Amino acid sequence: MKPLQYRLVSMLSDGDFHSGAEMGEYAGVSRATIWKALRKLEMLGLGVFAVRGRGYRLAQPLELLSQQGIAAGLTPAISARIGQIEILDEVDSTNSHLLLHRAATNGYRVCLAERQLSGRGRRGRRWSSPFARNIYLSMMWLDQRGGADISLLPLVLGAAVLQALKGYGIAGLGVKWPNDILVDGRKLGGLLLEMAGEGGGAYRMVAGVGINVDMPASSAADIDQPWTDLQRCCGQPVSRNHLVAELVTVMVAAIEDLASGNAAAWLADWSSNDVLMGHEVEIDTVHGLYHGIAAGIDAKGALLVQVGNELRRFYSGDVSLRAVAPMTGGRV
């Protein structure tokens, strides 16, 4: 998004009408330039209404992400652990951005974007990323333990994201191994973990979190599975800035608990909300298809599946799953 377009979105985000002359004066450009920029906003999926004598407004108000809005939801203890919060209007991928710009930063580094041009999920799947409607968040930190317990990280962080979302009173929340957040079988969000070696056995870890907050119907064609969003689940608008603050808070807590060997409570919470447990599943691996009954996870985070008379283990990154039986929320 070009700077002029972003400035206009910022001005129109209040949901009020603004005249072409007012916007031109605000941006320092002609009314004709304003009109062209507004047309481009419509091409990005932002509905713009024009009413003679009143001006222009967005089809619905937008809450843009802001440093101030996020900081207001962080405790001093969490704020002290965050080295940087970066907000971009658009980027190819927040995970890729952090991995490409791995400058030394004390504490956790957080990157957010209003829109991702090449957002992706696990195994390279595309993640639908309309402008200013959802959460596209990545967090990077330095792991000097050589990637120890990395197989548990998706589960611990999944439980953390679930904890943040439970505060919205959503019925039917659950987790699907290894990194999906579901509501009654419909995808609400997911995680993508990546890492880069730093030498000396240290790694830069990056955890990407995507949460559907207010997914426009026009984006539904880009989604290849049942989905939902927070506003549909809650029946009312959800502050993205407040949600980001909650996500950052629980993610830091989960990461530090795992590093200190205190992840048992997170893993227990994940297991109690496991939507696959006891269901017949089909597992597609590089070695072929397997059918069995999901039986939870082991101490290293592997998926346990009863295949005939054998209890088999499947590891993150090697398999894809779909439940044969309908999935509902977790078992709590």
User: What pTM, to 2 d.p., does this model score?
Assistant: 0.90
Q: In the 8-state DSSP scheme, what is residue 208?
A: E
Does residue 284 belong to any structural domain of this protein?
Answer: yes
CB 59 within 8 A of CB 218: no
Q: How far is CA 298 from the centre of its chain?
A: 26
Which residue is catalytic, options 115, 120, 122, 133? 122
Instruction: Look up 2 and say whether it is catalytic.
Output: no
For residues 193 and 257, membership in a common domain is answered with yes
Does residue 330 belong to any structural domain of this protein?
Answer: no
CATH assignment at residue 265: 3.30.930.10
For residues 220 and 130, membership in a common domain is answered with yes
For residues 247 and 168, membership in a common domain is answered with yes
- Domain count of the fold of the chain: 3
Token reading at 235:
């029946």
Which residue is catalytic, options 57, 115, 120, 187? 187
C-alpha to C-alpha distance for 21 and 31, rounded to whole angstroms:
6
For residues 265 and 137, membership in a common domain is answered with yes
CATH assignment at residue 292: 2.30.30.100
CB 91 within 8 A of CB 97: yes
C-alpha to C-alpha distance for 280 and 324, rounded to whole angstroms:
6
Does residue 142 belong to any structural domain of this protein?
Answer: yes
For residues 156 and 9, membership in a common domain is answered with no
Which residue is catalytic, options 125, 126, 322, 331? 322
Instruction: Look up 122 and say whether it is catalytic.
Output: yes
Instruction: Look up 322 and say whether it is catalytic.
Output: yes
State which residues form the domain around 135. 67-272
At 205 the three-state DSSP class reads strand
CB 215 within 8 A of CB 128: yes
Strand order of the β-sheet with 319-323 is: 310-314, 303-307, 288-297, 280-285, 319-323
Per-residue pLDDT in tens (0 to 9) along the chain, 332 residues: 788 998 999 999 999 999 999 999 999 999 999 999 999 888 877 889 999 999 999 988 889 999 999 999 999 999 999 999 999 999 999 999 999 998 767 899 999 999 999 755 555 555 567 899 999 999 999 998 888 899 999 999 999 999 999 999 999 999 999 999 999 999 999 999 999 998 888 999 999 999 999 988 777 667 778 899 999 999 999 999 999 999 999 999 999 999 999 999 999 999 999 999 999 998 888 888 899 999 999 999 999 999 999 999 998 545 656 655 556 666 54
Does residue 329 belong to any structural domain of this protein?
Answer: no
Last residue of a domain, one of 38, 58, 78: 58
For residues 137 and 256, membership in a common domain is answered with yes
CA-to-CA separations, 331 to 102, 175, 183, in angstroms, rounded: 40, 10, 12
For residues 251 and 138, membership in a common domain is answered with yes
At 76 the three-state DSSP class reads helix
